[in-house]
Amino acid sequence: MATARPLIIGPSTGPEAPYPLRMEGKVIRGFGRGSKELGIPTANLPVDDSLTPWIVDIKSGVYFGWASLRLPPSHPNQPTASSEARSGFSVYPMVMSIGYNPVYKNKERSAEVHVLHEFGADFYGVEMRLLLTGFIREEKDYPVLEALIEDINIDCDVARNSLDREAWTLRETVKGTLDGSWLVREAVEENLKTHGKVSEASKGVDLLLVPLFESV
């Protein structure tokens, strides 16, 4: 009998050290297996220890947190909310794996992000920032793909449940206290240069934050 997995990670007081951790880069093409074989599309980031030194020592496995994407104007999911900042940033909950994916016997470490949102188009080459808030589980091998898919779906539920708490939700929203300003910081700086002030719309990401429990 399989051991029941916890559906919430971390204390109600918020992420504990060393979290939150930051990672950023442009989305690159992965192996193409997430959507085709698993039905779980992923956005890959290059694993570069010169940019994220912490990744060298961090254990391989599944993590969760928040992702921001700076989508181009032509993308169907580009935010339409009116804002002086016009940052183009959208913020979403995410779950990700860092490791070698034992099922596929990868020889190089990869960072594969599953953004908890249904997108109308790919976004290769787009700037993505990640705020990792916690660790869900270690990576493992599976005898069949169905078992892997089941675990990934549980990972998504764990991420949603864990992030749906005040100390884990971004303080730029009406209910959170977690500092998520880094996810959109460049937009605020650009707004200062352009307007000489930070507009009310650019002080947070509330207008651009996708609902946590949106159907995906």
Q: Look up residue 141 and give its two tokens.
A: 């091998």
- What is the C-alpha to C-alpha distance for residues 201 and 211, in angstroms, rounded to an integer? 18
Which of the residues 108, 112, 190, 214 is marked catalytic?
112
112 in active site: yes
The strands making up 21-26's β-sheet, listed across from edge to edge, are: 21-26, 127-138, 61-70, 89-99, 110-115, 43-45
Residue pair 103/141 in contact by the 8 Å Cβ criterion: yes
Please list the active-site residues. Answer: 112
